[in-house]
Amino acid sequence: MQMPEPDQAVLDRRADICRDLRNLVAADCVIDSIEGRRAYDADGLSAYRQLPLAVVLPETVEQIAAVMKYCHGEGIKVVPRGSGTSLSGGALPLADAVLIGLGKFNRILDIDYANRCVVAQPGVTNLAITHAVQADGFYYAPDPSSQIACSVGGNVAENSGGVHCLKYGLTTNNLLGIELVTIEGEILRLGGKHLDAGDYDLMGVMTGSEGLLGIVSEVTLRILQKPATQRALLVGFDDTGSAAKAVGDVIGAGIIPAGMEMMDGLAINAAEDFVNAGYPRAAAALLIIELDGPEVEVNTLIDRVAKVMDDAGASSLKISNSEEERNLFWAGRKSAFPAVGRISPDYLCMDGTIPRRRLPDMMVRMSSLSQKYGLRVANVFHAGDGNLHPLILFDANQPGELQRAEDFGADILRACVEMGGVLTGEHGVGVEKRDLMGIQFTEDDMKQQQRLKCAFDADHLLNPGKVFPHLHRCAELGRLHVHKGKMPFPELPRF
Amino acid sequence: MIKVAGLDDVAAAIADAIEAKQHLAVRGMGTKAALGRDTSYDAILDVSGLSGIVDYQPDELILTVRGGTPMHEVEAVLAKANQMLAFEVPDLHKLLNSNSAGTIGGVLATNASGPRRLTAGAARDYLLGFDAISGRGERFKSGGKVMKNVTGYDLSKLICGSYGTLAVFDEVTLKTLPKPETNISLLFACDDSDAAVARIAAIFASPHEPNAAAILPRAIAAKAGIDISATMVAVIRLEGIDVSVADRAAHLLASFERGLEIDNDASTSLWQAIRDVELLEDVAGDIWKLSCAPASAPSIIAALSDQFDLAYFADWAGGLLWLAGPSGGEFGAALRAALAANGSGYAQLIRDQGNSKAVIAPFQPLPAAHYALHKRVKAAFDPMSVLNFGRMHDGI
């Protein structure tokens, strides 16, 4: 993975920089030793590791601002880090970058039921938000699988989703306000307990910006009343085509479940071997459909969904009649990744999105790619919104298998875009998919996005080497095409 | 007037404007021309020709349509498949002295969202992707045609609510949802706005899934044909399948006192009157919209009622106040002062009866650091200030 060339001048000044940083935060909040920095050398994309120049763990927003301002003044790169659970390398350090960790920002500041929101520091975990309000019957809806560990600041940076975003949306649809620190050390508040931006939706563009535009120092999140009833269906199909069609039929019937997940034969059997949830082993595809909401609504709709499944040719169907049963239906799906980890020394978890109706085509393509690369693939999908998580099985100890797995993954993402979808549904681009961006966007598309970056970070100090494959200097991006041989206002500076 | 038929025309018009150092006013059907600052411009870029339904797949919950398509066409196509745009597009043409709800591009450019925005999200939450020409005259696309998408910056959010100052839409892809089978509403008599806000909060803390909530003072409620004896009426809408709506209504009426139910027809027409601010139409003076934390609404109203003879009602559980007051700068200044004293939010001038925009900024003024960032973002898309220059803020 090619990362930007480290600035030798910065590397040479490492000791001085650490000393300067110790003037800005408590001395023990600067981690300098190799052993200390090693704990931060990778995120969830653990195949890639890099010791950062130094790790800083600020405790107040003023300290974040001071460190950012210092780095900006000195031309030192910055890599922000929440919990380091990113699966795309969003928090992968650079050798010449200061890594700013938000782990000490771990307090919930305000639980406001009257306004149905929670104000929290960015290092609070996603699940901790729900835990803080669940005794009063509330919860925070976006539920990425890593929610016991991932931070809400990281959720904003990645615009995290989860199983239930089919009905409840992603982080961006549940975020009311943020405080952010710019690379120049400015502290800005966007949004709040009120709705809508009233001017440019900068909070909307910060969400999913993968640490490239600013550091989130506080979040205001919408909380919802827990649904009265949750029930699930576990449905087996003899072929993935029928399962995929059944998913579309549910939507076509005017029903939006809380979640619709699909697993293929390999994933089903790996899960059964691991947790024994009672999945139909012979099924080519398994759907787990969850409905939530008021009791009468769920009980009525579950029968309608069951009928849709029957009409679609389901080979088996179970409906949960208790919380235990519902949780058991989910047990296999929730353990899918570790289950697959049992049947293979290593796996690559991919993330792409396709239009739902192309699922059968994608399964055919995956099958042929699996043969092409000689590697197995187990499939777990957020079928309701077409977000795939193919798990490519390989053995890193076998020469060339990691490369083949990555090539397989890249071909899957190419297929996603070819079928009308996108490279990443929820894991982010990071470094993992950076070099594939050209499959989905033209140079002009990417240049326009980078011009936005110039408005926030003209010196390209925040999280360089992520998301965009080619760096264009802001001065170059600001140049307008010469029209009819004349450049308008040639004497005016443009960024 | 420069009338364009396709994106190449738009690119050419913008390139010409850049060279001639001209400002363009971007216009679909001109229904929202009254919003924002008065600006001087050299020509109108008429984008109504960028019209038409491109692709509609109800089972995929996506609709791709060109920005200049009239809303009535969009709504007709959705109605045939029994679907909707969940953010509930308002029709403010009477307030804005125009003749329709305008184009989908205008709706997105103004982030125009109605009562269901409270629970379902705003226009910006339903734009999955778009392609456009920037103020640089360059074509670019962003987003996609799927909901789960975090590939690159989310420019869809930025472009919604940017009032045409950043780029000109061509194709936009929207997320659609099935229409609910039915809706009814519950009216609760409350003694004051504090009680109304608290009643609504209590209902939202129940598992009965209200999707919209409004607060109508007696006189306003009377205009809506509501004849219950109460200082303040809290209106709660329930949507969904018939049996569920009936069950939830029964539970809520049993749990909360002084409530009554109105049927599907009455509920639909009441919420349309709320959505389109019909309830303030015949009140003299300017109309402002104010977004605040719902629980702050009573204090804001109290502060303003001391100073002005106020006609108002609230949508979004109290978080959206529509207020009618005297023209001139004093009223808007007082709104913004009340807001500043009561948490976060903004106030925007919607109906300007007395050229108030000459003396007060129609959009909430930005603090210095925000303004500077807005300018840099504007420059990223429109460095020569071709598109709707000055429409939102001076210099942007």
CB interface of A with B, residues 381-410, below 8 Å: 382, 385-387
CB interface of B with A, residues 221-280, below 8 Å: 240-241, 243-244, 247-248
A486·B19 Cβ contact <8 A: yes
B383·A480 Cβ contact <8 A: yes
Note the pLDDT tens digit of each residue in A385-429: 999 999 999 999 999 999 999 999 999 999 999 999 999 999 999
Q: What angle do CA A275, A281, A287 make, to 5 degrees?
A: 85
CB interface of A with B, residues 173-192, below 8 Å: 173, 177, 182, 186, 188-189, 191-192
B146, B150, B245: best to mutate for the A interface, most A CBs within 10 A: B150
Mean local confidence (pLDDT), A474-481: 91
Residues in chain A within 8 Å Cβ distance of B371: none
pTM of structure: 0.96
Helix (H, G, I), strand (E, B) or coil at A37: helix
Write down the pLDDT at residue A494.
Answer: 41
Work out the number of other CB atoms within 10 angstroms of the CB of residue A276.
Answer: 11
The one-letter code for the residue type at B244 is S
Residue of chain B with shortest Cα separation from A387: B148
Residue B45 β-bridge partners: B2, B26
A425·B149 Cβ contact <8 A: yes
Helices (H), A23-60: 34-38
**All domains of chain A, ordered by start, with CATH?**
8-101 (3.30.43.10), 108-225 (3.30.465.10), 229-337 (3.30.70.2190), 344-428 (3.30.70.2740)
Note the pLDDT tens digit of each residue in B348-381: 999 999 999 999 999 999 999 999 999 999 999 9
Two tokens, residue B27: 């216009």
B148·A387 Cβ contact <8 A: yes
Quick one: which of A64, A52, A72 has its CA closest to A183? A72
Query: Cβ of B17 under 8 Å from any chain A Cβ?
Result: no
Backbone φ, ψ for residue A177 (5° rounding): -160, 155
Q: Residue A68 to residues A65, A183, A254, B389: CA-CA distances in angstroms? A: 5, 5, 49, 33
Note the pLDDT tens digit of each residue in B79-105: 999 999 999 999 999 999 999 999 999
- Per-residue pLDDT at A493 exceeds 70: no
Work out the number of other CB atoms within 10 angstroms of the CB of residue B199.
Answer: 22
Alpha-carbon distance B387 to B23, whole Å? 6
Alpha-carbon distance A349 to B219, whole Å? 60
Query: What's the Rg (C-alpha) of chain B?
Result: 21
Alpha-carbon distance B85 to A231, whole Å? 27
Query: Cβ of B209 under 8 Å from any chain A Cβ?
Result: yes
ipTM: 0.97
| CA–CA min distance B265, chain A (Å) | 22
Residues in chain A within 8 Å Cβ distance of B383: 478, 480, 494
Query: Cβ of B369 under 8 Å from any chain A Cβ?
Result: yes
CB interface of A with B, residues 99-158, below 8 Å: 112-116, 136-138, 158
Note the pLDDT tens digit of each residue in A440-470: 999 999 999 999 999 999 999 999 999 999 9
B363·A198 Cβ contact <8 A: yes
A208·B153 Cβ contact <8 A: yes
Interface size between A and B, measured as CB pairs under 8 A? 299
Quick one: which of B99, B89, B10, B98 has its CA closest to B49? B10
Alpha-carbon distance B195 to B193, whole Å? 5
Q: What percentage of chain A exceeds 70 in pLDDT? A: 97
pLDDT band at A261 (very low <50, low <70, confident <90, very high): very high
pLDDT band at A485 (very low <50, low <70, confident <90, very high): very low
Q: Is A198 left (phi over 0), alpha (psi -120 to 50) or beta?
A: left
Two tokens, residue B91: 């029709």
Query: Cβ of B18 under 8 Å from any chain A Cβ?
Result: yes
Kindly list the strands in the beta sheet with B53-57, ordered across the sheet, starting from the edge strand earlier in the chain. Answer: B53-57, B62-66, B167-175, B127-134, B139-143
| CA–CA min distance B125, chain A (Å) | 6
Two tokens, residue B378: 């504007």
| CA–CA min distance B146, chain A (Å) | 6
Alpha-carbon distance B280 to B324, whole Å? 7
The number of helices, as runs of H, and strands, as runs of E, in chain B is 12, 18
Work out the number of other CB atoms within 10 angstroms of the CB of residue A148.
Answer: 12
B384·A488 Cβ contact <8 A: yes
Q: Across the interface, which of A189, A204, A252 has its CB nearest the CB of B158?
A: A204
Mean pLDDT of chain B: 97
Q: Are A356 and A382 in contact (CB under 8 A)?
A: no
Query: What's the Rg (C-alpha) of chain A?
Result: 24
Work out the number of other CB atoms within 10 angstroms of the CB of residue A125.
Answer: 22
Q: Across the interface, which of B124, B152, B295 has its CB nearest the CB of A441?
A: B152
Helix (H, G, I), strand (E, B) or coil at B155: helix
CB interface of B with A, residues 82-121, below 8 Å: 82, 111, 113, 117-118, 121
Helices (H), B277-365: 297-307, 330-340
Quick one: which of B306, B304, B371, B293 has its CA closest to B332? B304
pLDDT by residue, tens only, chain B of 396 residues: 999 999 999 999 999 999 999 999 999 999 999 999 999 999 999 999 999 999 999 999 999 999 999 999 999 999 999 999 999 999 999 999 999 999 999 999 999 999 999 999 999 999 999 999 999 999 999 999 999 999 999 999 999 999 999 999 999 999 999 999 999 999 999 999 999 999 999 999 999 999 999 999 999 999 999 988 899 999 999 999 999 999 999 999 999 999 999 999 999 999 999 999 999 999 999 999 999 999 999 999 999 999 999 899 999 999 999 999 999 999 999 999 999 999 999 999 999 999 999 999 999 999 999 999 999 999 999 999 999 999 999 999
**All domains of chain B, ordered by start, with CATH?**
2-178 (3.30.465.10), 182-275 (3.30.70.2190), 278-358 (3.30.70)
A188·B15 Cβ contact <8 A: no
Work out the number of other CB atoms within 10 angstroms of the CB of residue A310.
Answer: 12
Q: What angle do CA A289, A168, A162 make, to 5 degrees?
A: 65
Residue B177 β-bridge partners: B84
Alpha-carbon distance A214 to A216, whole Å? 6
A159, A354, A422: best to mutate for the B interface, most B CBs within 10 A: A422
Residues in chain A within 8 Å Cβ distance of B363: 198-199
B121·A173 Cβ contact <8 A: yes
How buried is B380 (Cβ within 10 angstroms: 0-12 exposed, 13-18 middle, 19+ buried)?
buried
